[in-house]
Structures are given as structure tokens and as C-alpha cells.
Structure 1
Amino acid sequence: MKAVVQERFGPPDSLRLREIDRPATGAGRVLVRVHAAAVNPYDWHMLRGDPYAARLTGGMGLTRPKHRVAGIDAAGVVERVGAGVREFRPGDPVLGFCPGAFAEYAATTAALLVPRPAGLTFEQAAALPMGAVTALRGIRTVGRVRAGQRVLVNGAGGGVGTFAVQIAAVLDAEVTAVCGARNTALVRSLGAAHVLDHARADFTDGPERYDVVLDLVGNHPLGRLRRVLTPAGVLVAAGGGTPGRVFGAIGAMAKVAAVNAVTRHRLRPILPATPDGPAHEDLLAVTALVDAGQLTPVIGRTFALAGTAEAVRHVEEGHARGKTVITVP
């Protein structure tokens, strides 16, 4: 099969399209014929081995990538199931977390897959796992957004932000979206009641106060973000854009936890959803929103499998609109 291989830590140009064997399908596992895969910031962090501190956790490998084939989010059709798998059978269209997603075939556990909503293309379905689940957790699980609350999403035009705006709107919150000028019409169409162009105004300078702030960019100090919270407000910090190759987002999350201990506000870190934690119920919740017509993936750009390096570079530059997706013929 064709697969995008990462033999060493390095920039996107270190990715290579190779012919390799299909992954094995052991007990409890499912082999998926991949039709589309999404690119996330998680992917370039894994590719570069960045931050260095994350290598010590064992999730990305110490001296070389833990997973030879890159990618994590996929949508496709079940090719084969291992012993003990009862939820799926060959031919079922699915989406989920599939380590090694940048390939014609990827294997994963049945618990990390859910049926693809009938109304979605494979490209749209591939956009859901990490982006939509992270948004769901940020808005509903961690932020605990309720009807009538004022919610600000910083980075509303990106892969997680476009989902977060929709989920907050579904919960009947009054959503303020912060994004670039080219995305203002988009985020309004997704349910934002107010839109701020980050190039024209700094939301931390304004008089408005918010019950929940979901910060997906990491371009403001914690003190500035706390300034725009109501007295009982919640800051959900995803650590995006955090500088530093040694600790990166890990250091930022530790700072959030430390400041939380000495402030009346609730400061909550959130890392991107990955297959290392429980994901099945969140995947089902996300697809239920899609089936109800309340959540629609936004695809900014698509690339062929051979263009995966360019796709990862596009996401790493930090200005991708919605989700970036790779199509696999």
C-alpha cells in the first residue's frame, strides 16, 4: 500500500511517500481502507518531536517517531475486522482515530471508530475526530457552557474554532468569534452573534466580559485573558501558538494550573483530543450533532496523498481556514 512515512523527527519535507505492507489486524482491531484523512497541529508536533518534553511521556517516541506512518484522523470503509469485533463488518463506512491515517489502509481499535453520518462525504467525516471532539470538550465538558452565557472563541476560523462556534451556538450561548477578516462571514454563518477581526481590535482591551473564553491561539498573557472574564468566568486554554521547543504547550498548561490555584477565576487547560484517552462517547456525541443538522465540518483546503508534506506545512503556518484534508484515492 502507499503510505506517508516519517523515519525521523524533522520538518514536513522529511515525509516520504512509500510502498509498505498493510498493517496487521489483530484481536479487537479494525483495518480501514482510508478515503480521507485530516491534518492537525498534532501531526506536525509529532513529526518534529516538538516539544522535547513530550518525548519523555512515550507518546511520540524518544529519538525517532513512535509511529512510522503519519496521521491520526481518518474516514473510510472497513476492510477487515479482527477477532472479537462485533460493532463493525467489512463495507461499513466509518470515521475515527486511526494512527497511520496518511495511507491507503490504517488499523485501529474498534472503540476509536464510529459509523460515518450518512450526510457527510469522506472528506467531511475525516475532519471530525480531533477537531470536533476537542471543541466539544472545550465548550461542553470543560467550559460547561449553558444557555444565555456569553462565550468568546479566540481562533474561531480554524479547525477547532469552527466546530466550537457551532457547538456553543447549539447550546444557546451568545457567541463572540475572534478571527481574521477573511473568516468573518464564515463564523457568522456558523452561529456567531458577534465577530471581532483580530487585526483591527484586541478583544482583551474592550469593555465586554464573558462567562467562558476558549483560547485556541495562545497569543495573549493569562492576565489579559482573565481581564475579560466575568467574576465567575472560565478560561479554557488550549495552548495553541505556545512558543518554546522544550516545554511548549506542556509548560503553558502547567502555568494555567498554577495560576488557577491563586485566582477566583476558573482556568482550565485542555489538550487536543487524541486516541490516548477515552474518545468513543465524544465521537458519538459529535456524530449525533451532525445527524441532527447542528454541526457541519468546514473544509478549507484538500490535498492529494502525495501532497501531504505541503498540507502539514500549510497547517503548521497557523493560518489554515477550517480543516485541511488529504484525499486518498
Structure 2
Amino acid sequence: MTDPLRQGDIMRAVVTRRYGGPEVVEYADAPDPAPRSRELLIRVEAADLSTADAAFRAGTPFAARLFAGLRRPRMAILGADFAGTVVSVGDAVTRFAVGDAVWGATGAAMGAHAELVRIHEEGAVALRPPTLTATDAASLVDATAMSFLRDTARLRAGERILIHGASGAVGTAAVQLAVEMGAEVTAVCSGPRIALVRELGAVHAYDYRAVDVTTLPERYDVVFDVVGTVGYRRARGILTPTGRYLITVPTIGALAFHALTLGSRGRRSRIAFTGLRRPAVVRADLEATSALVSAGRIRAVVDGIYPYANGRAAHEHVARGKAGHVILTP
């Protein structure tokens, strides 16, 4: 079935063909993806522009190139988390129909920063909660915070957690989820965003430019280093004897300390590659997020919305820092 709002076999997309700063971002034509027998074709209404997308565009840190391509980007169209409407289905699709409002993630395939995206019906895609706008839905797809706190840290009620980088996309979700899980939250972010993290439920909040949190007298059961600037060596001093240090940035040091403390029952370092989770796990996370949103326990935090034609400005926004999510819309 053909989308009545489209003409021809060309779509528009946010494209990066070489590594560099936001100046390498283009708004360009790209071929329409054609769904196979068990695939959906989705007209994207909103897509998240994540810090990971920015790293894949820049090619830094170097570890990003192990995924994105050593010399040049393997994937010209970035973006994983999206919300949209099904406009075409393969002849063997049974779980979805044309017109369904959906949300999901393309994972390692990327490609969501385009007018159309293709995904298998058993992939990381689900019906979108009717109460969510496409913009809010796209900002809530990513369950990095949920996976780290629930599965990696196994955060428990009554524990104390310090979240470093608390005002970003993952950080704002982590603050809300940690509060929901019954933990006492200390948030670290820039001074102008302290009011935001307190509004989200942080009991304590510090400006990272004014306070070195590793010198604080408090001890934490979990230190969640969202931006990867604390490091296990420094964070170890503020962990409880059985504390867990979590880092999202796959540096050589992070991988090394993960391996070195793997069997430890004491202070340990953990990294998880949440973007590589199986589609069934992502769908379960979408259901869990939907329930929390419906109950009013978490909300979307969006700092900026940009049309694809202004994709370069959106990347500039991410480069200078964001409070929550930056969203791209066709």
C-alpha cells in the first residue's frame, strides 16, 4: 500500500557522509526503503537525536568508529529512536496494520532520521500509547536509564544514588526512575539546570563546575556516570563497600575496570551496551515505560525540536549541551 502523502521513490533525510562537527550534516535525498514480507514501512513523525548519534557523526571518541566505520561513516542516516505511523506492510505482516501509531527503535541499523524507516514486525516496535504525542514518545523510547538502574545496578528502595550528568537525556530519565524505585537521588549537572533535576525528584543537587563530587563526605550505593567524566578510580572513594559504579561511555578504561571487578562483591565498575539488547527486551521496556507514563510516574523532557531541514542546528544544540532530549521532525 502506498502512503497517499508521498510521491515517487525519494525521501528526505538528515545525512552525514563524513566525520566532523555539525557542519558535515546535510539535508538530502535518499532512496525510499521498501518493506519485505514481514516488515513495516513507517512514516517518521519524530526521532530522537542522541549523544550517541553525535558521537557517530563526529567519529569521536575513537570507540565510536568501531561501530560507525573506521575511516568514514558506514551509515549516512543516523537515529534509532522514533515515533510514527505505519504506511505500508509486507504481505506476511500480522501484528500491525496501515494507520497504526507506533514507537520503537531501529537499534544498530539506525536510519530513523529520515521521512521513512523500515523495521521487522518482530523488531523493537510497539503500538504507541494514545496519550503520548509523537515528540514525547520519541524522547521516551530509549530505556538506557531503565536498563542500567534495574538490570545492571539492581537499584533497590532506600539506596542512595549519585547521577552525574543528570540533566541530559539519559540523566533526566534516570532521576525519575531512581525516585520511582525508592532511591534517594543526588543529581550533578550544570548550575542553570539544578531547578530541573530537583523538579524531577532529586533530593540533593550540585553544580559540577562548583563542586568536585568525589570529595563529598556522603557514600553512595550507586554512582551513575552518565557522561563518563568521573571514572571508576575517582568514584570508588564515594562508593559504599558494596557500591556499583555505572558508566555509559565505552572507553578503554571503562572496559578494563568492568573486567577487573567482574567477580568482585565489593566496589565494582559496570558498563552495559543497551543499544544491543534483543528486540523482545526493548518491546518489554516500551511496555514498562508506557505503564509509568500512564500512571504519571515519569514524563518526557524535551529541550528542543528541529525540522530535518535544520538538522545541523539540532546537532549544534547537542554539541553545546541539552536539558533532556533534542527531537528531529520531518
TM-score w.r.t. length of structure 2: 0.88
Instruction: State the shift of 1:262 in Å.
Output: 8.4
Mean CA deviation greater in 224-233 or 14-23: 14-23
2:105 to 97, 111, 114: 97
Q: Which amino acid aligns with 2:119?
A: T
- For residues 277 and 15 of structure 2, the distance between their equivalents in structure 1, rounded to whole angstroms, comes to 20
Given that residues 153 and 177 in structure 1 are in contact (C-alpha distance below 8 angstroms), is that contact kept between their aligned partners in structure 2? yes
- For residues 104 and 22 of structure 2, the distance between their equivalents in structure 1, rounded to whole angstroms, comes to 23
Query: Which position in structure 2 is the counterpart of 1:260?
Result: 261
Once the two structures are superposed, the pairs formed by residues 172-211 of structure 1 within 5 Å of their partners are: 172-211=182-221
1:284 to 283, 287, 294: 287
Given that residues 97 and 275 in structure 1 are in contact (C-alpha distance below 8 angstroms), is that contact kept between their aligned partners in structure 2? no
1:321 to 313, 320, 323: 323
Structure 1 unaligned spans of 5+: 240-248
Instruction: State the shift of 1:66 in Å.
Output: 2.3
Cα 1:274–1:293, aligned 2, differ >3 Å: closer, same or farther? farther
1:125 to 127, 132, 137: 137
- For residues 183 and 55 of structure 1, the distance between their equivalents in structure 2, rounded to whole angstroms, comes to 31
- For residues 251 and 215 of structure 2, the distance between their equivalents in structure 1, rounded to whole angstroms, comes to 27
Cα 1:262–1:80, aligned 2, differ >3 Å: closer, same or farther? closer
> What SS is found at the alignment partner of 2:221?
strand
Cα 1:280–1:234, aligned 2, differ >3 Å: closer, same or farther? same
Q: Which amino acid aligns with 1:255?
A: A
Instruction: State the shift of 1:275 in Å.
Output: 6.7
Mean CA deviation greater in 24-33 or 14-23: 14-23
Instruction: State the shift of 1:217 in Å.
Output: 2.0
Q: Which amino acid aligns with 2:81?
A: D
Query: Which position in structure 2 is the counterpart of 1:243?
Result: none
Q: Which amino acid aligns with 1:323?
A: H
Query: Which position in structure 1 is the counterpart of 2:12?
Result: 2
1:140-191 Cα shifts (integer Å, max 9, x gaps): 1111011111111111100000000111111111111111121112111211
Mean CA deviation greater in 32-41 or 270-279: 270-279
RMSD of the alignment, in Å?
2.0
- For residues 257 and 47 of structure 2, the distance between their equivalents in structure 1, rounded to whole angstroms, comes to 32
Instruction: State the shift of 1:257 in Å.
Output: 1.5
Q: Provide the identity percentage.
A: 38
- For residues 241 and 255 of structure 2, the distance between their equivalents in structure 1, rounded to whole angstroms, comes to 22
Instruction: State the shift of 1:54 in Å.
Output: 4.7
- For residues 80 and 300 of structure 1, the distance between their equivalents in structure 2, rounded to whole angstroms, comes to 32
Query: Which position in structure 2 is the counterpart of 1:300?
Result: 303
Query: Which position in structure 2 is the counterpart of 1:251?
Result: 252
- For residues 153 and 327 of structure 1, the distance between their equivalents in structure 2, rounded to whole angstroms, comes to 30
- For residues 167 and 134 of structure 1, the distance between their equivalents in structure 2, rounded to whole angstroms, comes to 11
- How many residues of Structure 1 are paired with residues of Structure 2 in the alignment? 314
TM-score w.r.t. length of structure 1: 0.89
1:218-267 Cα shifts (integer Å, max 9, x gaps): 2224222011111111111112xxxxxxxxx3413313224425862121
Instruction: State the shift of 1:115 in Å.
Output: 1.7
1:61-97 Cα shifts (integer Å, max 9, x gaps): 3443222322222111111122432221111111111
Query: Which position in structure 1 is the counterpart of 2:225?
Result: 215
Instruction: State the shift of 1:139 in Å.
Output: 0.9
Instruction: State the shift of 1:272 in Å.
Output: 4.8
Structure 2 unaligned spans of 5+: 1-10
Q: Which amino acid aligns with 1:109?
A: H
Query: Which position in structure 2 is the counterpart of 1:73?
Result: 81
Instruction: State the shift of 1:192 in Å.
Output: 1.2
Q: Which amino acid aligns with 1:106?
A: V
- For residues 178 and 92 of structure 2, the distance between their equivalents in structure 1, rounded to whole angstroms, comes to 38
- For residues 324 and 136 of structure 2, the distance between their equivalents in structure 1, rounded to whole angstroms, comes to 11
Given that residues 235 and 267 in structure 1 are in contact (C-alpha distance below 8 angstroms), is that contact kept between their aligned partners in structure 2? yes
Q: Which amino acid aligns with 2:272?
A: I
Instruction: State the shift of 1:276 in Å.
Output: 7.0
- For residues 73 and 231 of structure 2, the distance between their equivalents in structure 1, rounded to whole angstroms, comes to 32
Q: Which amino acid aligns with 1:326?
A: L
- For residues 55 and 217 of structure 1, the distance between their equivalents in structure 2, rounded to whole angstroms, comes to 18
Instruction: State the shift of 1:307 in Å.
Output: 1.0
Q: Which amino acid aligns with 1:229?
A: L
